[in-house]
Amino acid sequence: MSPPKPLLELVNVSVSHGRVEALRQVSLSVGRGEIVALLGSNGAGKTTTLRSISGLLSLDTGDALFDGQSIRGKSPEEIARIGIAHVPEGRRIFPGLTVRENIMLGACNRKRPGRRALEAEADGMFELFPDIRSFATTLAWQLSGGQLQMVALARGLMARPRLLLLDEPSLGLAPLIIQKVFAAIEEIRKRGATILLVEQNANMALSVADRGYVLETGRLVLEGDARALAANEEVKAAYLGGRQEIASRES
Ligand X SMILES: Nc1ncnc2c1ncn2[C@@H]1O[C@H](COP(=O)(O)OP(=O)(O)OP(=O)(O)O)[C@@H](O)[C@H]1O
Q: How far is the CB of 219 from ligand X (least distance, A)?
A: 11
Is 54 a binder of ligand X (CB under 6 A)? no
* 61 phi/psi in degrees, rounded to 5: -140, 165
Q: How far is the CB of 124 from ligand X (least distance, A)?
A: 31
Tell me how far apart the alpha carbons of residues 27 and 13 are, in angstroms, rounded to a whole number. 6
- For Mg ion, the binding residue among 29, 47, 201, 232 (CB under 5 A) is 47
Contacting range for ligand X; rule: CB under 6 A; set: 46-54, 73-81, 97-105, 227-235: 46-54
- For ligand X, the binding residue among 4, 31, 33, 43 (CB under 6 A) is 43
How many CB atoms sit inside 10 A of residue 127's CB? Answer: 9
* Interface characters, 177-216, with ligand X (x: CB under 6 A): -----------------------x----------------
Tell me how far apart the alpha carbons of residues 127 and 105 are, in angstroms, rounded to a whole number. 18
CA-based radius of gyration for the chain: 18
Encoded amino acid at 131, one letter:
D
Q: With contacts defined by CB under 6 A, how many residues of the chain interact with ligand X?
A: 14
Of the two residues 18 and 192, which places its CB atom closer to ligand X in the complex?
18
Is 92 a binder of ligand X (CB under 6 A)? no
Cα dist. 189→23, 33, 126, 186, 247 in Å? 28, 7, 16, 5, 34
* 245 phi/psi in degrees, rounded to 5: -60, -45
Is 54 a binder of Mg ion (CB under 5 A)? no
At what angle are helices 145-158 and 115-124 packed, to 10 degrees? 130
Tell me how far apart the alpha carbons of residues 247 and 201 are, in angstroms, rounded to a whole number. 16
- Site of interaction with ligand X (CB under 6 A): 17-18, 20, 22, 40, 42-48, 89, 200
- Site of interaction with Mg ion (CB under 5 A): 46-47, 89
